[in-house]
Amino acid sequence: MPVQPSALLTDLYQFTMLQGYLEQGMEETAVFEFFVRKLPPNRGFLMAAGLESALEFLETVHFTPQEVDWLAASGRFNRRFLDYVAGFRFSGEVHAMPEGTVFFPDEPILRLTAPIPQAQLVETRLINLLHYQCLVASKAARTVLAAPGKLLVDFGLRRAHGAEAGLLAARAAYIAGFSGTSNVLAEREFGVPCYGTMAHSFVQAHDDETAAFEHFARAQPDNVVLLIDTYDTEAAARKVAELALRLRRDGIRTKAVRLDSGDLGAHARAVRRILDQGGLPEVGIFASGNLDEFAVRELVSGGAPIDGFGVGTRMLTSADAPYLDCAYKLEEYAGQPRRKRSEGKATWPGRKQVYRNYDGAGAMERDVLTLDGDAHAGQGLLRPVMGQGRRLGPAVPLTESRALAALELGRLPEPLRRLGVSPPYPVEVAPALRELAAAVDARPV
Amino acid sequence: MPVQPSALLTDLYQFTMLQGYLEQGMEETAVFEFFVRKLPPNRGFLMAAGLESALEFLETVHFTPQEVDWLAASGRFNRRFLDYVAGFRFSGEVHAMPEGTVFFPDEPILRLTAPIPQAQLVETRLINLLHYQCLVASKAARTVLAAPGKLLVDFGLRRAHGAEAGLLAARAAYIAGFSGTSNVLAEREFGVPCYGTMAHSFVQAHDDETAAFEHFARAQPDNVVLLIDTYDTEAAARKVAELALRLRRDGIRTKAVRLDSGDLGAHARAVRRILDQGGLPEVGIFASGNLDEFAVRELVSGGAPIDGFGVGTRMLTSADAPYLDCAYKLEEYAGQPRRKRSEGKATWPGRKQVYRNYDGAGAMERDVLTLDGDAHAGQGLLRPVMGQGRRLGPAVPLTESRALAALELGRLPEPLRRLGVSPPYPVEVAPALRELAAAVDARPV
């Protein structure tokens, strides 16, 4: 992660509540869990991402003296509050599902245990980091399922919602199985491989389209991907066919052409024919322009001769479902399980664990949501990752999370691999958890 | 703006094209314009925002020695490229519509004039900054129209797409007419007034709901807004009614209660009755939870006794239209008008200006899109704001942009003030521009 933003990037109510907790001397241990309440329409599963960013945030979050002064000058806070934030560091525990894990509604993907002032104070940014990366990884995973064996590149930085969205999306999409990104900073910060071609403006700035192609190729002989839809796609493909032979004589290989508008499938077929007839079967076709998993699936299943896709805006904004109904909720305080009962937003109390079971072929079969300590068959998905405010091990390399995601997508039950509606994956709530919820509800408030 | 991210936050193709331009000695003047191709479904207008962020970016963008070294080590670039980026500063001109201006498809809101390597290199981040702020301002403006006289507060940071989205959205929504934000950093960075209440966890952490309310009120006597839906909304309202009288005796004023779930209109009516019967007409009702302009309009037009709204996720993700079909396109190079003709993505060539005309009552009547220098009746909306890479005047205060936005919303033709579909606002393309496009099309490529 690049520099975390100021600890003031939070909701004011975290501060007003903190002052309340401190005034009452309420500093006992709280357990909060981050989970998604329900799936977006037409989605069958979600993919966990953002944990490393969250852990880095927890390890580093603090208030600078200037920030404390500014809070003091606002006149909103008392001395006790200001002293607390001046010395604030996170010292709690975290259990979490590894990045790349497939998960379902009501399953916590992160459980945080810390004195309540700390656990509360980190809420906003934790949600902000986890929500967006889960959102993009979940969307990107669908594109990966729709385009087996194709090169997939994130092209979305420009219309991502701000700088950090562009950066975190490149990371999340790579975990989910994308090959790389157009975003240079994502390569530097995260090691996500970076891809780049050319824009229409490069062609437009030349009076002659062929000259534009040739200039680009000679300036970038190792990365010749030519954008051919600025004026007339097939006409440009013929220019490329002629040029590529000349370039070949000079030892320059034309890697691919890029299509960015019109009927991509029809253009791809026509362009493939032109390239093949020109003796250029090795020149690939790369397509972009308003793509998402549905468009990619249609092109792939229609047999369009396209070797790779640039997927941008619709993935980085998760356009069909631009947010997840997620929450970070208090499940236990001072040893007592807690539960919110708001209409439509009730939560399961207590510290929880998720057990996953697989069928004989290795496909996910059912999950059990239960209390931590109530052992069930299957694999426990939440593991300890932070203690006393420090990671328990080295940061997980992105390639490892990516490998896990690939394994997870391979284990998805067949109906969930489709892009449309599927029967919900079974997540059973264990009797121990139901009993605890009933007991909590019986307490007066 | 807080610190701009690294100049490496861009698409790789900006670098590959730069190397191409430099190899060919192509450094003549380019004119790029930023515009939106078409309105999202069910939208009648857009609002310009993000200009100050864009100008700050242009004034400060540069590559650090470490970044240049990293680019060199990537092996992708030649010496000429590396020398260029090492010395790169933006030295061009910008014309733009002021933030808060209402605009329509095909109308440039920003025109940038600079040597082509510079103009190209800033593309990605410029779009990234302008797109998102226009997106949020346009969405927020609709909520402002739907809730005249109500307090509107941005609550969306946690589910915004990353840190910067949360920050820029607070800014854009404030320009559009929101009263403030929950985001503390937005107050510090931009002076957007900050609002905060309490979360369910504060209530849950107490064994007794009334005790939670009282502790909060006594810790924050100047900002007593109590969240009453953690367990049973009306029961909590009765607790507040009793508590508020006790607090009043101690000189503490209960400002409002907050509803966050269930049927907000029905709860508001029941809670209003409880508060009024308790002799507390001065205690307001604030509502939040999955709100957008449609939900707010329904509550307002239904007469729900709600004094203010917290609007979050759906505004910050612009959930019904999470991106704009925007572009930053080359319109002129080396004195020659240029035009992209890609299917469905053709652009108008040349340096342009927009003239706006008003009817006798001061409402917007029609715009004319034409070439810069082709004077028409009406107000020219694009004004010079940067020359030689420096702002031509001091930064425009946010309150001034906000005042302009209010004026603009007041000038909207009546059909555009409604949230549904409206007849498109007339934007005429002047003959001079049509003739230029035809002339450009007649040139061979």
Q: What ipTM was reported for this prediction? A: 0.97
Q: List, for residues A75-122, the tens digit of each pLDDT value.
A: 999 999 999 999 999 999 999 999 999 999 999 999 999 999 999 999
Residue B391's nearest CA partner among B51, B128, B87 is B51
Contacting residues of B for A219, CB less than 8 Å apart: 16, 19-20, 22-24
**Distance in angstroms (rounded) separating the CA atoms of residues B199 and B217:** 13
Q: What is the pLDDT of residue A84?
A: 98
Residue B219's nearest CA partner among B237, B206, B232 is B206
Q: Which of B2, B323, B340 has its CB closest to that of A200?
A: B340
Q: Yes or no: is domain A197-288 CATH 3.20.20.70?
A: yes
Counted across chains A and B, CB pairs separated by less than 8 A come out at 351
Report the sign of the C-alpha dihedral through residues B49, B52, B56, B58, in that order: positive
| Residue extent(s) of CATH 3.20.20.70 domains in chain B | 146-316
Query: What is the per-residue DSSP string for A68-127?
Result: HHHHHHTT---HHHHHHHHT-----EEEEPPTT-EE-TT--SEEEEEEHHHHHHTHHHHH
The structure tokens listed for B389 are 């890479």
Q: Which of B74, B162, B329 has its CB closest to that of A128?
A: B162
**Distance in angstroms (rounded) separating the CA atoms of residues B411 and B357:** 11
Contacting residues of B for A121, CB less than 8 Å apart: none
Rounded to a whole number, what is the distance in Å from the CA of A230 to chain B's nearest CA?
A: 5
Across the interface, whether the CB atoms of B202 and A333 are under 8 A apart is answered no
Percent of chain A with pLDDT over 70: 99
Report the sign of the C-alpha dihedral through residues B92, B93, B97, B99, in that order: positive
Across the interface, whether the CB atoms of A10 and B185 are under 8 A apart is answered yes
**Distance in angstroms (rounded) separating the CA atoms of residues B72 and B82:** 7
* Distant-in-sequence, close-in-space partners of A253: CB < 8 Å, separation ≥ 6: A221, A224, A247, A282
**Distance in angstroms (rounded) separating the CA atoms of residues B149 and B340:** 45
Counting as low any pLDDT under 70, the low residues of chain B are 1-3
Contacting residues of B for A165, CB less than 8 Å apart: 161-162, 164-165
| Residue extent(s) of CATH 3.20.140.10 domains in chain B | 12-136+321-442
Q: What is the pLDDT of residue A343?
A: 79
Q: List, for residues A278-322, the tens digit of each pLDDT value.
A: 999 999 999 999 999 999 999 999 999 999 999 999 999 999 999
Residue B12's nearest CA partner among A356, A418, A222 is A222
Percent of chain A with pLDDT over 90: 94
Residue A123's nearest CA partner among A33, A185, A59 is A33
The structure tokens listed for B94 are 């910008």
Q: What is the pLDDT of residue A346?
A: 81
Q: Looking at the complex, does the CB of residue A440 fall below 8 Å from at least one CB of chain B? A: no
**Distance in angstroms (rounded) separating the CA atoms of residues B209 and B236:** 8
Place of tokens 């998993």: A293
Q: How far is CA A243 from CA A236, A249, A253, A270, in A?
A: 10, 10, 11, 18
Query: What is the per-residue DSSP string for B46-71?
Result: EE---HHHHHHHHHH----HHHHHHH
Residues 416 to 435 of A: which have CB under 8 A from any B CB? Answer: none
Q: Output phi, psi for A31, to 5 deg.
A: -120, 120
**Distance in angstroms (rounded) separating the CA atoms of residues B301 and B296:** 8
Strands B308-311 and B325-333: unpaired
| Residue extent(s) of CATH 3.20.20.70 domains in chain A | 197-288
Determine which helix (DSSP H) or strand (DSSP E) holds B240, and give its type and residue range. helix B233-249
Q: What is the pLDDT of residue B420?
A: 84
* Distant-in-sequence, close-in-space partners of A350: CB < 8 Å, separation ≥ 6: A31, A331, A332, A337, A371, A372, A433, A436
Contacting residues of B for A110, CB less than 8 Å apart: none
* Distant-in-sequence, close-in-space partners of A181: CB < 8 Å, separation ≥ 6: A153, A154, A155, A157, A170, A173, A174, A187, A192, A193, A194, A195
Rounded to a whole number, what is the distance in Å from the CA of B319 to chain A's nearest CA?
A: 6
* Beta carbons of A78 and A110 less than 8 angstroms apart: no
**Distance in angstroms (rounded) separating the CA atoms of residues B229 and B215:** 17
Q: Looking at the complex, does the CB of residue A159 fall below 8 Å from at least one CB of chain B? A: yes
pTM as predicted: 0.97
Determine which helix (DSSP H) or strand (DSSP E) holds B398, and give its type and residue range. helix B398-411
**Distance in angstroms (rounded) separating the CA atoms of residues B175 and B271:** 32
Q: Which fold has domain B12-136+321-442?
A: nicotinate phosphoribosyltransferase (3.20.140)
When pLDDT is averaged across residues A227-232 and rounded to a whole number, the result is 95
Strands A110-115 and A93-96: antiparallel
Q: What strands lie across the sheet with B336-337, from one edge to the other?
A: B336-337, B325-333, B29-38, B110-115, B93-96, B383-387, B390-391
Which architecture characterizes domain B146-316 according to CATH? Alpha-Beta Barrel (3.20)
Residues 377 to 416 of A: which have CB under 8 A from any B CB? Answer: none
Q: What is the pLDDT of residue B2?
A: 55
Half-sphere exposure of B317 (CA within 13 A, CB side): 27
* Distant-in-sequence, close-in-space partners of B75: CB < 8 Å, separation ≥ 6: none
Q: Which of A23, A185, A340 has its CB closest to that of B215?
A: A23
**Distance in angstroms (rounded) separating the CA atoms of residues B78 and A220:** 9
Contacting residues of B for A317, CB less than 8 Å apart: 161, 317, 322-323
When pLDDT is averaged across residues A335-350 and rounded to a whole number, the result is 87
Across the interface, whether the CB atoms of B333 and A205 are under 8 A apart is answered yes
Residues 349 to 368 of B: which have CB under 8 A from any A CB? Answer: none
Provide the residue type at A428 as one letter: E
Across the interface, whether the CB atoms of B13 and A323 are under 8 A apart is answered no
User: How many other C-beta atoms are found inside a 10 Å radius of the C-beta of residue B288?
Assistant: 21
Q: What is the pLDDT of residue B340?
A: 82
On the question of pLDDT at A188 being above 90, the answer is: yes
Residue B15's nearest CA partner among B96, B71, B93, B89 is B71
Contacting residues of B for A127, CB less than 8 Å apart: 158-159
Q: What is the pLDDT of residue A2?
A: 55
Contacting residues of A for B213, CB less than 8 Å apart: none
In the DSSP assignment, the letter for residue B179 is -
3-state helix, strand, coil in chain A (%, to 5): 40, 20, 40
Across the interface, whether the CB atoms of A20 and B260 are under 8 A apart is answered no
Q: List, for residues B375-425, the tens digit of each pLDDT value.
A: 999 999 999 999 999 999 999 999 999 999 999 999 999 999 989 888 999
